[in-house]
Amino acid sequence: MNTFGKMLKVTTFGESHGSGIGCVIDGMPSNIKVDTNFIQNEVNRRKGGLNLYSTQRKESDIVEILSGVFDGYTTGAPIGVFIKNNNAKSKDYENIKNIFRPSHADFTYFHKYDIRDYRGGGRSSARESIARVASGAFAKLLLNEFNIKVRSGIYSIGGIECKDIDFDNAINSEIYSLDKNIENIQKEAIQKAKRNHDSIGGVALISAFNVPVGLGEPLYYKLDSIIGDYMLGLNGVKAIEIGNGIESSKILGSQNNDEMCKNGFLSNNSGGILGGISNGDTINIKAYFKPTPSIFKPQKTISTHNEETILTLKGRHDPCIAIRGSIVAESMLALIIADMLLINASSNIKYLKKIYKNNKF
């Protein structure tokens, strides 16, 4: 259950304070040039410790490619990736060894498995998401061959929403904000939460451009259902919206329908997906992140022996997980689209005829 994807499959392993985080990327077509700088840069975008808005855990996050690449190209063999942990401070977690942190996975892991790697959350830590970003970078190498682009940014922090969406702004923003004019208000909300030993929620917008019509497999591997799957699996994501999904539940069909003309759709309320299949328009997704559960205020909780206690957490944590989470969500969307691109290759006899011409390769 640590694998996702159908044709482009990713398996991850590793814990927050173990030797590192790894993944195996399986199903990458052969003969794709592997730009290792690009992959490292993608992983660096997720990196914490760089400013006031993220954790102070400083990891070098060096991506090591263990297999599947030869002479700079993919070979069709599985790509092994490993990223060492080198700044884990397990001592910070001694005090929660037998105590469940509220709204963390501690309680459920303990009851499911009867054993819990409490150091930094173990397997349930968001540190694992580095494997998703590394895998997503490989997916992007594939998407680049077809000029498909996936981008992301912070849409809102603590309910403070961006008005103008500018993915270029997100790149340079310390909080990946999509709107230069709102960014500072959002930052101040984060700082205020931090000063109060608290954390804050946020929303990421993820978009994919130039996606061909036809990606997504009805009825049980639809593009939107897999988006729901991958995105709600991200740490802290508690809601996911395609296009104007939430608004659409409040309005009329005549307001929500996307009419068409010969040059395309006249609106994009659907978020680029109809019947679970991409319609050629931009894919728009919003991921709603809860506030970081790790806060530094005293909280009521219980121990593994069901004793009540008051817990005041220590450690290093992001005040707003949506920020770095947006990069992970972007990576996941790249992986979904890449997977769908591969799956779709056998959906129509006309494609197969292009490939197996004269019955010789």
Interactions with its own copies, residue window 64-93 (CB under 8 A)? 66-68, 70-71, 73-80, 82
Question: Could you tell me which of 264, 286, 284 has the C-alpha nearest to residue 272?
Answer: 284
Residue 109 touching its own copies (CB under 8 A): yes
Per rule CB under 8 A, count of chain residues that contact its own copies = 164
Candidate residues 91, 163, 195, 262; the one interacting with its own copies per rule CB under 8 A:
262
CA distance 248 to 227: 18
Q: Smallest gap, in angstroms, from Cβ of residue 43 to its own copies?
A: 18
Burial of residue 253 (number of CB atoms within 10 Å: 0-12, 13-18, 19+): exposed
Site for its own copies in 26-45 (CB under 8 A): 26-27, 29-32
- If one asks whether residue 230 binds its own copies (CB under 8 A), the answer comes out as yes
User: Pattern 270-309, binding to its own copies, x per CB under 8 A?
Assistant: xx--xxxxxxx-------xxxxxxxx-x-xxxx---xxx-
User: Which run of H or of E encompasses 284?
Assistant: strand 283-289
Rounded distance, CA 177 to CA 154, Å? 5
Least distance in angstroms from the C-beta of 172 to its own copies: 23
Question: Does 97 engage in binding with its own copies (CB under 8 A)?
Answer: no
DSSP for 278-308?
E-SSPEEEEEEEPPPS--SS-EEEEBTT--E
Give yes or no for residue 195 binding its own copies (CB under 8 A). Answer: no
Look at the block and give the residue holding tokens 């998703």. 132
CA dist., res. 291 & res. 158, Å (int): 9
Site for its own copies (CB under 8 A): which residue of 40, 44, 167, 214?
A: 214
Residues 6+ positions from 299 with CB-CB distance below 8 Å: 101, 102, 310, 311, 312, 313
Considering beta carbons, is residue 43 or 157 the nearer one to its own copies?
A: 157
Of 38-46, 48-56, 97-105, 167-175: span binding its own copies (CB under 8 A)? 97-105
Query: Binding its own copies by CB under 8 A: which of 48, 122, 136, 153?
Result: 122
Taking only Cα atoms into account, the Rg of the chain, rounded to an integer number of angstroms, comes to 21
Residues between 314 and 333 with contacts to its own copies, criterion CB under 8 A = 322
> In whole angstroms, how close is the CB of 47 to its own copies at the nearest point?
20
Residue in this structure with the two tokens 């130039």, named with its chain if needed: 210
Q: How far is the CB of 164 from its own copies (least distance, A)?
A: 20
Binding of residue 11 to its own copies (CB under 8 A): yes
Q: Is 12 or 173 the residue whose CB approaches its own copies more closely?
A: 12
273: which 2 tokens? 């997906």
CB atoms under 10 Å from CB of 240, counted, come to 20
Q: Which of these ranges, 24-32, 40-48, 86-94, 168-176, lies near its own copies under the rule CB under 8 A? A: 24-32
CA distances (Å), 297 to each of 94, 196, 358, in order?
Answer: 18, 8, 70
| Of the residues 36, 49, 50, 233, which one makes contact with its own copies according to CB under 8 A | 233
356 lines the binding site for its own copies (CB under 8 A):
yes
CA gap 278, 224 in Å, rounded? 9
Interface with its own copies in residues 143-172 (CB under 8 A): 145-148, 156, 158-159
Which residue matches tokens 């709107």? 179
